[in-house]
Chain A
Amino acid sequence: MADGSIQTAASEAALSLDGITCTFVSRDAAGGRYTAVRDTTLTVAPGEFVSVVGPTGCGKSTLLNVAAGLLSPTEGRVRVFGQPLAGINARAGYMFQGEALLPWRSALDNVAAGLEFAGVDREQARESARQWLRRVGLGGFEDRYPHQMSGGMRKRAMLAQTLIRDPDIILMDEPFSALDIQTRQLMENEVLDLWMAKRKAVLFITHDLDEAIAMSDRVVVLSAGPATRPIGEFNIDLPRPRDVAEVRMQPRFVELHAAIWSVLREEVLKGYAQQKRA
């Protein structure tokens, strides 16, 4: 699976970022420029779970926004199933890091939103949303507004909101970083179960190496910013299905962790030093 993905990537990648550079005009210095991402090439095959790890503030989210079509890169091309991307990536679902639920909609109406926007009949959309809420463990909480739900419940609702449209590519931006460790592992397993059933292409951004290895087929390590680029790529050949808590005990997991950490460590230190200076 992991080896096959590299061959298929060239012909029919679900998502391919080719030579992406993103430069922003800096607000601090007049005429100053800030290159968040430089010359980054990344592909995700259909059905492949790819994690991107890197130190904080290294432009991981920028990369994801480019893949989503929310941000057009300064240079480089984005292809979605072979087609060049223009505007919003309609085949992708995006699970954001922050609070993205509409506060004036109940859990049910939030989950139904994607179908409603697509013109699906309202009752039908709500019925489908009801099923998805049950699937993410929120059955019985349909009428809660976001401020009445816990952080974990909001994340579940966001997951259902993203997946209800049945996107072919799922983009996730540190989706569980705000959760406590137990809730987090539960959610990671639930995401893996949902993904195993449908096998969509996933691009998963995280700063947590354990999470990346436990969930992915492939882990890409980014350098510290500015001008972030990939500096290492590792195939995760752990057997599936996995349990994120148990897989951490396997010797192969420890090996992979050590190998990736040796590459990541220096970048994390660099990123930390930069943050301290700033």
Chain B
Amino acid sequence: MSKPFKPGTASLRLWQLLLLVAIVLVWHFASYSPKIAFFFGQPLEVSQRIWAWFVTDGSIYRHLWITLAETMLAFFIGTVAGMACGLWLGLSPMASAILDPYIKAANSMPRVILAPIFGMWFGLGIWSKVALAVTLVFFIVFFNVYQGVREVSPTLLDNARMLGAGRRQLLRHVYLPSATSWVFSSLHTSVGLAFVGAVVGEYLGSAAGVGYLILQAEGTLDVNTVFAGIVVLTAFALALDGLVGVIERRLMRWQPKASETEQL
């Protein structure tokens, strides 16, 4: 242990775990003070709450299922729509020139403000939350694809054309793969934002979902349940992010990795 900070994979995991344990311990001992316990909750209570949700009364599954469904739907719809629009505008300079100010306006608008309107349009069910989360996901993916399409190397395009590729083949074999690498860099951000959209939507008006649970708990000043909800959401957001990472590693095998040039 002469160099305890050497970043090996195993020792790195250990240090990360130790940090988590340290934070929880600090939290635990600090919460002996009733004031701190009132505002920050108690880790034991929080874990009991989570245990009850998942094991003893199993009441969270319905809410979790709804929040996850909203997130996945928004993520899927937003990504597909963002890719389609990004490809279209990236390939059509005329359309992108005309729409440019509107896109800028729509992107800089604080879109959370749309939640009440979506509530009116789509009711209090899952679709108003999906709509809100879609507006968050869409623009991230859209801008990345748009950028990706416009930055395809002209030599690659010329080469593909000289090899006999038509318009559709250029789209399929050059533009799409090139845009995909940009999309993946944005998907990690968009998974998080899909969650944000779903939970904020629930928070602003709903009858089910983890955001709804948190809102209810807050109403009764039950801070332990609020923290339990936050922990559950974070864990699931991390899991979804990991899933995106797995898919990314499978699809992006062609990309040079930084580690590949390192010596063994």
Binding between chains A and B: yes
Q: Give chain A's interface residues, CB within 8 Å of chain B.
A: 65, 68, 70, 88-90, 92-94, 96, 98-106, 113-114, 117-118, 145-148, 161, 165
Q: In B243-264, which residues have CB < 8 Å from any A CB? A: 253-256, 260
Contact B164 A118 (CB under 8 A): yes
CB distance from A19 to the nearest CB of B (A): 24
Contact B254 A94 (CB under 8 A): no
Contact B158 A117 (CB under 8 A): no
CA distance in complex: A146, B254 (Å): 8
Complex: chain B residue closest to A167, CB-CB: B162
Q: Is B97 an interface residue (CB 8 A)?
A: no
* B interface, size bucket: 20 to 34
Contact A117 B164 (CB under 8 A): yes
CA distance in complex: A161, B155 (Å): 14
**Which 3 A-B pairs have CB atoms at the shortest separation, nearest pair first?**
A100-B159, A114-B163, A147-B256
Q: Give chain B's interface residues, CB within 8 Å of chain A.
A: 153, 155-156, 158-166, 169, 173-174, 177-178, 181, 253-256, 260
30 A-B contact pairs sorted by A residue (CB < 8 Å) = A65-B158, A68-B162, A88-B161, A88-B162, A89-B162, A92-B162, A93-B162, A94-B162, A96-B155, A98-B153, A99-B153, A99-B155, A102-B177, A104-B178, A104-B254, A106-B254, A113-B160, A113-B163, A113-B165, A114-B164, A117-B163, A117-B164, A145-B254, A146-B254, A147-B254, A147-B255, A148-B260, A161-B159, A161-B163, A165-B164
Contact B254 A103 (CB under 8 A): yes
- Decide: A165 near B163, CB < 8 A? Known: A100-B155, A102-B156, A147-B256: yes
Complex: chain A residue closest to B170, CB-CB: A117
CB distance from A98 to the nearest CB of B (A): 5
CB distance from A57 to the nearest CB of B (A): 18
Contact A70 B161 (CB under 8 A): yes
CB distance from A157 to the nearest CB of B (A): 12
CA distance in complex: A70, B166 (Å): 13
Contact A105 B162 (CB under 8 A): no
CA distance in complex: A117, B156 (Å): 14
